[in-house]
Structure 1
Amino acid sequence: MQIEYKNIDPKLVVNEIRNGRSLESVQKIFGIKFKSEVQDLYLRGLMELGEIPQLDFQKTNNPKIMPSYPERTVVRRREKPPAKPGMLIKTSNFRTIGQSGSITLNKALLIEQLGFAIGDSFEIYREEDRIVLKKVLNPA
């Protein structure tokens, strides 16, 4: 759909913008309602001057023909149960987020109860309402 802009020459819009006028001032000079119309006229002017290749924005009203596919049978798959962690160590310790936004995991919990070693690296991510620390061999 080609829109006509009250007999405004797009080349004049290009000339005004090149002379340093803003979109708003060009809009007022030519009595254009929307900035997008100024931008469209500027684009058309550049195409008419041959500075950018011609683009065709017109819609073609060719109806798309939907190919008919044979009826496919529906295969239903069972839902897989959620994967459970290999080892679950339940501690009686609870942690809260402190005022600075941090959670403290002390040496007694990490090394003695959970069996990690000094220097271990972890990837941290969230699963639903849990924070998961996954041990990684080589930190990236």
Structure 2
Amino acid sequence: MATAAATVHEAGRAGPAAEDAAEEEVRRAEQRRFAALVDGDFDTFDDLCNDRFIYTHSTGHRDTKSSFSAACRKGLIRYHRIDATAEQIALAGDCAVVTGSMEAELSVSGALRTVRNVSTSVWVREAGAWKLLASQLTAVQA
């Protein structure tokens, strides 16, 4: 599988040592999320998401966990490569907000696209596991 095609880079990481472990857990969850999308492993992707997950695409279209997963499973959305940078992870209790950037090559309804976005993702810790609650992309103009 193409897990090497989905990467999350670290940029400007700083913070108290007590937060390092939680930040690393969130960073690994982000990596697993993107790898699952590139690999077509939608069971893993679904497992990483909170049941109330909302995905706001750079076009403004919103998907729920079930509608996004269904579109991916049907091949309407197919990720070929994702290169993401987590520029900041802000922790507040059992909530983590990841801001960064993402470039991806994907097919949408069969049309190949390359997208460049800034991103915000919200993760919540539930029963010791980080779950993705929301993700929003904003297109970067060339």
Q: TM-score, normalised by structure 2?
A: 0.17
Higher strand share: 2
Structure number with the bigger relative contact order (C-alpha 8 A, sep ≥ 6) is 2
Q: TM-score, normalised by structure 1?
A: 0.17
